[in-house]
Amino acid sequence: MTRLIFCAVVVAILTPWEVHGQAGRRGDVQDANTASEKDLLSVPGITPMLAKDILGRRPFLTMIELDKLLATSLSPEQRGNVYRRLFVQINLNTASDAEILLIPGLGNRMLHEFQEYRPYRAMAQFRREIGKYVDDKEVARLEQYVFVPIDLNTATDADILSIPGLGQRMLREFKEYRPYKAMQQFRREIGKYVDDKEVARLERYVTIN
């Protein structure tokens, strides 16, 4: 009986932060899809021409797309320095090995640890599991590069607002059409307020469970 009560308490404690996805909290790393031209130019290695190329090619739906663009002008070492300040967050559950390894300072050992705990259901799970291998400062640094998709029907306001570039107006629109039955419904309804490119960018961060 005591054991059952203990388990119930653990479930009650863990459930709120295990069932919601979020985008990782950002510090020094800017989102390549929402950064202004001024912000892009503040990144060492980003020239005015590259900044215009980035703005013209957005949104990047994978980090690989941004890397291919920058590879035409920058060496691997130069791109690595750029990614310390500019990145397209990757989906912890679906990102390829190549995409994960674009995170600066992340080698094959941590690649394995990233993948071991799939599927992730929340950023809190990522912090807990990766925190077994690195200190809190490094967990916070790595968190900037990743996200766990939010459930459109159950995500909290804070979860939705963690999506880069999403403010109060779009928060209201996200919630207005609940319950969502399919992603096509999300595209149709949110497409009333933003263009197809922005719908595609936002869709990266969401799911329907």
* Both tokens assigned to 151: 């459930």
The residue ranges of every structural domain in the chain are 30-146, 150-207
Give pLDDT tens digits along the chain (209 positions).
Answer: 444 333 433 333 334 444 467 988 888 999 999 999 999 999 999 999 999 999 999 999 999 999 999 999 999 999 999 999 999 999 999 999 999 999 999 999 999 999 999 999 999 999 999 999 999 999 999 999 999 999 999 999 999 999 999 999 999 999 999 999 999 999 999 999 999 999 999 999 999 98
The DSSP-derived string for 74-114 is S-HHHHHHHTTTEE--EETTT--HHHHTTSTT--HHHHHHH
What is the pTM (predicted TM-score) of this model? Answer: 0.88
Helix (H) or strand (E) holding 207: strand 206-207
* Both tokens assigned to 89: 């967050």
* Both tokens assigned to 153: 């029907």
